Chain A
C-alpha cells in the first residue's frame, strides 16, 4: 500500500466520525440510537426506563417485520436491538432478522448482521443452523472483508454438527495469500478443535504448516492449538520442543518485526504462549527440559524493564522453571524473581508473588520461610483477595505442627467472607486439613489402644462421604496423598490400626490419584508385609488392599512373588489372603466382580441363613453326615457328657463372634473377623499384642505343650508395634529453629513481634526436611538423614564400648542407661511395669536395637549452639552446668524467688534457661511435689513493652498460661511462672516435661501462646522413642523418686515379695563419724529416699516412684565399702537407683 494511502488511513477515523454530522461528532442527532440513549439517560426511575424500552422494542419489532424496511434501516434497527438486549431486555424477535441481515445485506450491513448474531445467539441456538449457508457463501466470496467476517463469526460460534460442512473451506484458507485470512482460519480451526477435537484430527499436518508460517501472526495463532493439544498429550509433541525453543529465542532476541512489539517488549503474547507450551513439554522430562534451560535463562535476563508486561513474562518464566525438570541455577534466579514479586509494593505483583509461592512451596518450602513476615502481613491485608491467596499458600504448607494455627486463620477468614463460593471452598479445605490431619494424629497417638470402632467409623465416614461428591473426592484424595507419603516415610513407626486404615483407604481410593501407579502403591504396601513387627492381622488388611489394587502385569508379577514368599506362612489366614491375591491378580474380570470399585457404601446383602448352601447340606445329609446342632445344644450335650472342661474355648468364642458380625468385604472389620475365626493360637496371641490381658489366657491354655516356648520370640516381635510415628517432627523442629531465627538482633516493635511469633508457629515444621511430616509434600531427601546415618555408625560403636563397662561413670550418661535398658528389656520380655506406656516404651527400645544412640546423637546435632540442647539441658539436671554462654545463671536465685508460693517450699531442680529471643527468656525447672512432678516455666520479659497473649484459643487442660508481662520494671528480670503440670501418670508427666523443653527449643523464637501449639507438638512427640528413653534415664529418680515410708515389718514382707534383685558395692563416705549413717543421709537428701532403719552395720532404705512402684535397698558395711542389695517388682528400678546412688556419692 502506498504511503499516501497509509497516511490517509491514519487520518480516517476522525474524518469518518465527523463526516456525516459535522459539529456533533459521532453522536448523530438524527440517529435513532442516539435518541434512545439520550432518552434513557433523562429518565429517573427504573420503571420509566422499562416502559421506554418496551415501547422502543415494539416499534423495532413492527419495523423489522415490515417488508418495506430496507437493509440499511434494518442495520440501524439491529444496533438498537443489540442495545436493548445489553440493557437486559429481551429482543428475541430480532434474532431471525439478524441472520437475514447477515445473509442478504451488503458488506457493511452484513457486518452488523454478523455482530448481532454473535451477540444474540450462542453455540447451541437452533437458529444458528440458518447461518451455515451464509457462512459458506461468504467463505467462498472473493471479497476479503466478507471472508474475514465469516471466519470471525465461525471462530466465535458455530454449531458443532455443521463443522464438516465448512471445514474444507476453512482448511483451504490456510494457504490463502493474505496473512489475516490465514490467521483467522487457524483460529477458526482452534475453535473447532475445542468444541469437536475429533473433527479436525486429520489436519494435524496443516497445523504444523501453520506453525511454520512465514507470518509470525499466523504462527502465534497456531500456538493456541498446540497449547491445547500438548496439554492433552505432551508426549506426542516432544519433537517440536526444539522448534519452540528456537522461536522463543528469536522472539526474545528481538528478531520479530516492530509491529509485534508491545511497549517495546517483543511479542509478549507470543512469549507467554511459548513459555506455557515449554513448561508443559518439559514437565517431568529431563532431556526435554535441558533443551530449554538456556532460553529460559535468556528470557529471565531480558525481561528486566520495569513494566507490567515484563512482569507478566517473568511470572510465566518462573512458573515454567518450577514446572520443568529443576535446574539449581535457574531455580535460584526464579526464587529471586518470586522474592521481588512478593516484596513489591504493587499489590498486583504481590498477589502474583503469593500465587507463585503457592505454586512452588511444595518443592521449596524454604522460599516461604524466607518471606514469612511478608506472608504474615498479607494475612492481615485489607484486601480479601490477598488474604485468601495467603490462606491458599498456608493450606499448602500445612503440616501436623501448624495445622491448628492455620485452621484458626481460615475460620477467621470464613467469618469475614460473605461469598458463598469462597465459603464452600474454604470449608472444604478446613475439613480436609482438620479431619484427615486430626484423624492421622489420633491414629498415630491412640495407636493400638484405641477402640476398634474408631477406625471403623472413620472409614465409614470416608466411604459414605458428605453431600457433595466433589468434596468427597477431594477428601479421599487428600487422605490418599497423605497416606502415601506416610508410607514413603517410615511406616514402621505407625501403629497397627493406623496401618490397617491406611491399607483400606489406599485399596479403595488410590485410583483417585491420577499418576499414582497401582504398582507404586502395591510396592509400598508390600513393604509393610516385610516389616517384622507388622502383625498378621495388619498383613491381612494389606493383602486385601493389594488384591483391590492389583492391575497390570507389574502387579501380577509382584503378586506371584508375594505368594511364593508368604505362601508358606504358618498363618492360615495370611496364606489364604495371598492365594486370593494371586488368583485375583491373574483374573481381572473376576477381580472386578469380587471387588468392585467404589462400592464401599453399597449395601451388601448378607444371606444369614446361608440358604445357598442348602443343596450342599442336603447332599451331605443324604450321604450320611450328622445333622447340624446349634452350639447351645452341643454345649448341653457335652456338659452332660462331662468329658472336658472347655472353658478356654468358651472364652475365645465371644471374641471371634463379635468381630464376625460385620461380614461384607468392604467392611474394615472383615479382616479382624477372619483372623478371629482362624482360631489359631498364633493369631490369638497376636491379637493379644495390644492387650496384654488376653495373653495370660493363652499362656494358661497352651503353656504346657511346649509350643509356647517356640512361639514367644515371634510373639514379641509381633507385639513390638512402635507407637511413635512422629519422631520426625522433633527432628524437623530442631532444624527449624535455625530457619525461624530472625536475622535482626535489634529490638523490634510490638506488632512486628507478634508477626514473628505468628510466623514461627505457621512455619514450624517447614524447611528442607519437611518431607516426613504428615502431609509429606516435599520430595527432597533431607540432608539430615545422611548425617544421621553417619552419626549412627560412629555412635553405635561408642555405645558398645559403653555398654561393656557398665557402671563406669561416663559423660554420656544417657547412652549408658539406654543401653542398660536395652539389655534388660531384650533379655526379659517384661518392661518397666509402670502403667500403659511403659511396655510400649521398652518394646520400642527393643525394636530399635541400639539405634536410639544414633537418635540421641542426632539431637545433639540438630541443636544449634545457642540454644541449649536437650542433652545438655538434661545434664544440668543431673550434674554438669551447661557449657554454653549463660547470662541467666546468676539469675537462678532471683528466678526461684518467683516460684509460686505453694511451690516455694518444695525442692526444685536448677533453673535451666531454655531459650531466649531479644525480648523474652524462657527458663524452666521442675519442682517435686508429693504427688506430682511440676514443670515450672519462667518467662522473663527483658524488653520494656508488654507482651500480649496472642491466639491462645481454648485453654489446654494441663498448661495454664498466665503470662505476666512486666511493663513497669523496664530493666527488670522479674520472672513469673505458671506450672505446666500434669497431675497425670508419671510417664505422662515426665515425657511432657521433657517435651516442653524440646518444643521450646524447637520453636526457638518464643511465642507466648504456647498452649495450643505446644500441646500439639507435645502430643505428637509424646511417644517418640527418643524422648521416652531420655525421660526414663535421667528423670527417673531425680524427679520422680519419693520416699517410701514403711515400717521395718512392712519392709520385711515387701522384701520377700519382690523378685527383681540387684547387688553391688558402693563407695562408703568416710568423712563423718558413722560412715553408714553419713552415706545414707547423703542418699536420702539427694535422692529422696526413706531410711527405714539402721541397725549396726546394716541399714534398710525404701523409696518409690511417683506412681508407687517401690524399691527397697538393703545396705551393709562390708570391707570398707557399702554392699547394697536392691529389690523391686520393677526390673529396671534397682539398676537405676543404683546408678543414681553412685553418682550422688561421687558428687558428694
Chain B
C-alpha cells in the first residue's frame, strides 16, 4: 500500500498515512486531487479507481471516506477488507466509532493503524491481537498516570511488565456499566456525523456484502 487517507464528506482530511516517501507538496497535491475525484463519484459506482499509475480503493462509512492507494499488482478486494477491518478495529476500540471519535482522538486512530498495518502491509489481522497491543500501551499510560498520582514524583523506573498493574487500574476505577450510550458534547457544530461508522454500514443493506 502506498498511502491511506481518511476524509470527510466535506473533503476535510481526517487522517493520512504515507508509506512512500513524498514531499509535502506532492502529498498535498495528491490529497487534493484524490479527495475531489472520490467525492465526485456516485454511491453506486465502483470502489476502485485507476488514478495516475496507482489504483485507488475507497469506501465510504457514514460521513467518512477511507481511501487507499495500492500498486497495480495488488488485490483490490483484499484492500477493501483492510479498510473494513480497520473500521472494525476502530469500532471495537471506541465502541461504535463515529467521525467525532476519530477527529478528537486521531492519535489513537494512528496507533491502531500502526498496529494493524506496518510499512504498508497488514501485519496483524486479528482484531483481538491488535487491540491487545494497543491496550497494553494505553494501560501503561493509565498505569503511569495512576502511579504518578499515587506516588507523586516517586516513580522512577518504567514498569517492565505492564500486565501486573492492570489489576490495580481495574480495581481502582469505578467501571461504568457496559454498553453505556456514548455522550457527545452538544456544543459541537453538526458538521460531523455522530452515526457510528459501522452502524451506518449496517443500516444500508445494499452496502452489506
Our count of residue pairs bridging A and B at CB distance below 8 angstroms stands at 233
Q: Are A156 and B118 in contact (CB under 8 A)?
A: yes
**Which of A238-246, A345-353, A830-838 binds B?**
A345-353
- Residue A1125, interface by CB 8 Å: no
Most buried by B among A1, A27, A118, A119: A27
- Interface of B, secondary structure class, is mixed
Which B residues between 148 and 184 are near A, CB-CB below 8 angstroms? 158-160, 162-163, 166-167, 169-170, 173, 175-176, 178, 180, 182-184
Given the interface pairs A87-B13, A308-B77, A312-B77, the reply to whether A41 lies near B189 with Cβ below 8 Å is yes
Task: Give the residues in chain B near A188, CB-CB below 8 Å.
Answer: 119
Most buried by A among B84, B104, B188: B104
Indicate which residue in A17, A124, A309, A386 contacts B21 across the interface (CB closer than 8 Å).
A124
Q: Are A388 and B45 in contact (CB under 8 A)?
A: no
Task: Give the residues in chain B near A933, CB-CB below 8 Å.
Answer: none
Report the separation of the CA atoms of residues A382 and B52 in the bound assembly, to the nearest whole angstrom. 21
Indicate which residue in A42, A79, A309 contacts B107 across the interface (CB closer than 8 Å).
A79
Report the separation of the CA atoms of residues A125 and B105 in the bound assembly, to the nearest whole angstrom. 27
Q: Are A122 and B48 in contact (CB under 8 A)?
A: no
Which A residues between 144 and 162 are near B, CB-CB below 8 angstroms? 145-146, 148, 152, 155-157
Indicate which residue in A37, A180, A385 contacts B50 across the interface (CB closer than 8 Å).
A385
Given the interface pairs A155-B118, A224-B121, A272-B75, the reply to whether A19 lies near B173 with Cβ below 8 Å is yes
Given the interface pairs A272-B75, A312-B81, A421-B51, the reply to whether A25 lies near B182 with Cβ below 8 Å is yes
Indicate which residue in A23, A142, A152, A311 contacts B118 across the interface (CB closer than 8 Å).
A152
Report the separation of the CA atoms of residues A37 and B106 in the bound assembly, to the nearest whole angstrom. 12
- Contact digits for A53-89, partner B, Cβ 8 Å, 1 yes 0 no: 0000000000000000000000000010011001110
Which A residues between 5 and 56 are near B, CB-CB below 8 angstroms? 5, 8-9, 11-19, 22-27, 29, 31, 33-34, 37-38, 41-42
Q: Are A352 and B104 in contact (CB under 8 A)?
A: no
- Residue A316, interface by CB 8 Å: yes
A753 CB, nearest partner CB in chain B, Å:
27
Most buried by B among A9, A112, A142: A9
Closest B residue to A259 by beta carbon equals B126
Task: Give the residues in chain B near A142, CB-CB below 8 Å.
Answer: 160
Q: Are A12 and B162 in contact (CB under 8 A)?
A: no
Report the separation of the CA atoms of residues A272 and B85 in the bound assembly, to the nearest whole angstrom. 16
- Residue B103, interface by CB 8 Å: yes
A155 CB, nearest partner CB in chain B, Å:
4
B8 CB, nearest partner CB in chain A, Å:
11
Q: Are B180 and A351 in contact (CB under 8 A)?
A: no
**Which of A261-269, A657-665, A919-927 binds B?**
A261-269
**Which of A103-111, A684-692, A1040-1048 binds B?**
A103-111
Task: Give the residues in chain B near A13, CB-CB below 8 Å.
Answer: 92-95, 131, 135, 138
Closest A residue to B22 by beta carbon equals A122
Indicate which residue in A29, A145, A262 contacts B137 across the interface (CB closer than 8 Å).
A145
Closest B residue to A347 by beta carbon equals B46
- Interface of A, secondary structure class, is helix
- Residue A1009, interface by CB 8 Å: no
Given the interface pairs A86-B106, A352-B77, the reply to whether A11 lies near B175 with Cβ below 8 Å is yes
Task: Give the residues in chain B near A184, CB-CB below 8 Å.
Answer: 118, 123
Q: Are B184 and A385 in contact (CB under 8 A)?
A: no
Indicate which residue in A24, A82, A309 contacts B106 across the interface (CB closer than 8 Å).
A82
Report the separation of the CA atoms of residues A308 and B48 in the bound assembly, to the nearest whole angstrom. 14
- Contact digits for A407-427, partner B, Cβ 8 Å, 1 yes 0 no: 000000000000001100000
Report the separation of the CA atoms of residues A5 and B164 in the bound assembly, to the nearest whole angstrom. 9
Q: Are A25 and B184 in contact (CB under 8 A)?
A: yes
Report the separation of the CA atoms of residues A254 and B141 in the bound assembly, to the nearest whole angstrom. 38
Closest B residue to A155 by beta carbon equals B119
- Residue A529, interface by CB 8 Å: no
Given the interface pairs A25-B183, A148-B133, the reply to whether A260 lies near B173 with Cβ below 8 Å is no
Given the interface pairs A29-B185, A37-B104, A262-B125, the reply to whether A268 lies near B78 with Cβ below 8 Å is yes
Report the separation of the CA atoms of residues A12 and B108 in the bound assembly, to the nearest whole angstrom. 14
Report the separation of the CA atoms of residues A82 and B52 in the bound assembly, to the nearest whole angstrom. 28
Task: Give the residues in chain A near B115, CB-CB below 8 Å.
Answer: 152
- Contact digits for A111-126, partner B, Cβ 8 Å, 1 yes 0 no: 1100100110011100
Given the interface pairs A13-B94, A348-B46, the reply to whether A190 lies near B119 with Cβ below 8 Å is yes
Q: Are A269 and B125 in contact (CB under 8 A)?
A: yes
Report the separation of the CA atoms of residues A262 and B135 in the bound assembly, to the nearest whole angstrom. 21
Q: Are B188 and A316 in contact (CB under 8 A)?
A: no
Q: Are A123 and B137 in contact (CB under 8 A)?
A: no
- Residue A315, interface by CB 8 Å: yes
Most buried by B among A108, A123, A188: A108
Closest A residue to B122 by beta carbon equals A269
- Residue B187, interface by CB 8 Å: yes
- Contact digits for B17-31, partner A, Cβ 8 Å, 1 yes 0 no: 111011110001000
Report the separation of the CA atoms of residues A652 and B37 in the bound assembly, to the nearest whole angstrom. 67
- Residue A383, interface by CB 8 Å: yes
Closest B residue to A88 by beta carbon equals B28
- Residue A901, interface by CB 8 Å: no
A822 CB, nearest partner CB in chain B, Å:
55
Task: Give the residues in chain A near B201, CB-CB below 8 Å.
Answer: none
Task: Give the residues in chain B near A191, CB-CB below 8 Å.
Answer: 119
Task: Give the residues in chain B near A276, CB-CB below 8 Å.
Answer: 73
A50 CB, nearest partner CB in chain B, Å:
15
Closest B residue to A348 by beta carbon equals B47
Q: Are B111 and A115 in contact (CB under 8 A)?
A: yes
- Contact digits for B114-140, partner A, Cβ 8 Å, 1 yes 0 no: 110011011111101101110111111
Closest B residue to A38 by beta carbon equals B188
Q: Are A108 and B144 in contact (CB under 8 A)?
A: yes
Report the separation of the CA atoms of residues A108 and B108 in the bound assembly, to the nearest whole angstrom. 12
- Residue B39, interface by CB 8 Å: no
Q: Are A183 and B183 in contact (CB under 8 A)?
A: no
Task: Give the residues in chain B near A157, CB-CB below 8 Å.
Answer: 21
A433 CB, nearest partner CB in chain B, Å:
19
Task: Give the residues in chain A near B176, CB-CB below 8 Å.
Answer: 14-15, 18, 22
Q: Are A12 and B77 in contact (CB under 8 A)?
A: no
Task: Give the residues in chain A near B81, CB-CB below 8 Å.
Answer: 262, 268, 308-309, 312
B165 CB, nearest partner CB in chain A, Å:
11
Q: Are A217 and B185 in contact (CB under 8 A)?
A: no
Q: Are A156 and B46 in contact (CB under 8 A)?
A: no
Closest B residue to A15 by beta carbon equals B175
Closest A residue to B59 by beta carbon equals A348
Report the separation of the CA atoms of residues A79 and B110 in the bound assembly, to the nearest whole angstrom. 11
Task: Give the residues in chain B near A41, CB-CB below 8 Å.
Answer: 188-189, 191-192
- Residue A143, interface by CB 8 Å: yes
Q: Are A34 and B104 in contact (CB under 8 A)?
A: yes
Q: Are B123 and A111 in contact (CB under 8 A)?
A: no
- Residue A90, interface by CB 8 Å: yes
8 more CB-based (< 8 A) A-B contacts, given A13-B138, A145-B137, A348-B48: A8-B170, A11-B170, A27-B185, A87-B13, A221-B123, A269-B122, A385-B45, A421-B51
Q: List 16 A-B contacts (CB under 8 A).
A: A9-B131, A18-B180, A38-B187, A41-B188, A87-B13, A106-B144, A107-B158, A108-B141, A112-B107, A122-B21, A124-B21, A156-B118, A190-B119, A259-B126, A348-B76, A382-B42
Instruction: Sort A-B residue pairs by CB-CB distance and give the 3 closest, nearest first.
Output: A312-B77, A108-B141, A123-B21
Using a CB–CB distance below 8 Å, which chain B residues touch chain A?
A: 13-19, 21-24, 28, 41-42, 44-52, 73, 75-78, 80-81, 84-85, 92-95, 100-101, 103-107, 110-111, 114-115, 118-119, 121-126, 128-129, 131-133, 135-142, 144, 158-160, 162-163, 166-167, 169-170, 173, 175-176, 178, 180, 182-185, 187-189, 191-192, 209
